[in-house]
Amino acid sequence: MAIERVTERNDGLVHERVVERDGGGTTYVDRGGSGIGSVIIGVAILAMVAIVAFFLLQANRNDAIQTQAVTSAASSVADSAATAADTVGDAATQAADAVTN
């Protein structure tokens, strides 16, 4: 019958269990971590998603500001053109009145 010797070690982060069997010549090592690496990776991914979302929202806000500026400028040009057309119309009316009188 084979002799089995089990050694366990736990350093707070890693739990290690070594099983040695005489006669088989094979040593099995079973290691398990505390899972802190998964938590760190999860936090890093969450931070990356937050940063990407922030930049996408900023780009969307900048597009809205640019659209508003273009709309305001076009409205100002349209108002100026309407005022100029009214002035030209009034001048034409006065010139026609002056010719007929």
What pLDDT does residue 94 have? 81
- Mean pLDDT for 60-70 is 83
Is 1 domain-assigned? yes
Q: Is residue 57 part of a domain?
A: no
Domain that holds residue 26: 1-34
Partners of 14 in beta bridges = 33
Q: How many domains does the chain have?
A: 1
- Structure tokens, 96: 């026609």
Residue 52, in any domain of the structure: no
pTM of the model: 0.40
Encode pLDDT of 26-53 as tens digits. Answer: 666 667 666 788 889 999 999 999 999 9
Q: How confident is the model at residue 77 (pLDDT cuts 50, 70, 90)?
A: confident
